[in-house]
Amino acid sequence: MFRILSPLLLLLVIQNSVAQSCIDDITPTAPDSRYSANGDGTVTDLQTGLMWQQCAVGLSGSDCGSGSAASMTWDAALQRPQTLNSSGGFAGYSDWRLPNITELASLVEEACVSPAINETLFPNNGTSVYWSSSPYAFNSFNAWQLYFSYGDDVNDNRDNQQFRVTAKPASLHSLAFLATIPPLFSTFPC
């Protein structure tokens, strides 16, 4: 069975903190009830069957508040699961992989922004950008990322580790989540 390096979601983390804003009139797309916190640093999405690493690469703790989010290129993000798996894995699994853009987008909470992700299950991940395993078909130098500030998918140069998205000096760093498919699921549902 092959686990998804849930995101080795390479997350581009904005260094400043922003409070999440949700619209009450929109039904949540990623409510707490959709997930199962496994108590080992992983979260299972009961809708997709994917198991995700709860914290971005480099962060740890029940609130993902310890450590520093790792910055890496797309190639480094693709290699991260292999390194993790060959060194014993994470949470008892050694078949992690970087998710594709569709799998990564399944985490988006459409009722919220800043960030557009369930903050209860994925705390302290901020308004970040995460790498996916999906290359960008129209430019061989780019790959797909998910920008969790608004839940938008974007493509960027595979060699970038940080870039600016606003006029003020808030830099983003490529980071990653790990996702996995638990034994009771064998494929990502369409």
Task: List the domain boundaries for the chain.
Answer: 21-180
Q: Mapping DSSP to helix (H, G, I), strand (E, B) and coil, where does residue 93 land? A: strand
Specify the higher pLDDT residue, 71 or 80: 80
**pLDDT score of 9:** 38
Q: Report the C-alpha gap between 45 and 50 in whole angstroms.
A: 5
Q: Report the C-alpha gap between 188 and 190 in whole angstroms.
A: 7
Conformation bin of residue 32: beta by default, left when phi > 0, alpha when psi is -120 to 50? alpha
Residue 103: pLDDT above 80?
yes
Which residue pairs from 40-46 have beta carbons closer than 8 angstroms and sit at least 24 positions apart in sequence? 40/91, 40/92, 41/90, 41/91, 42/6, 42/90, 42/91, 42/180, 43/121, 43/122, 44/182, 45/106, 45/107
- pTM of the predicted model, to two decimals? 0.77
Sequence-ordered strand ranges (E) for 100-169? 112-113, 129-135, 142-147, 152-157, 162-164
**pLDDT score of 106:** 92
Query: Mean pLDDT, to the nearest integer, of 24-46?
Result: 93
Paired with 60 in beta bridges are 66
**pLDDT score of 130:** 85
The pLDDT tens digits of the residues spanning 133-185 come to 899 999 999 999 888 889 999 888 888 763 322 111 222 333 345 544 444 44
When pLDDT is cut at 50, 70 and 90, the band that residue 186 belongs to is: very low
Of 108, 7, 107, nearest to 59 (Cα)?
7
The CATH code of domain 21-180 reads 3.10.100
The pLDDT tens digits of the residues spanning 82-93 come to 898 899 988 888
When pLDDT is cut at 50, 70 and 90, the band that residue 18 belongs to is: low
**pLDDT score of 181:** 45
**pLDDT score of 96:** 85
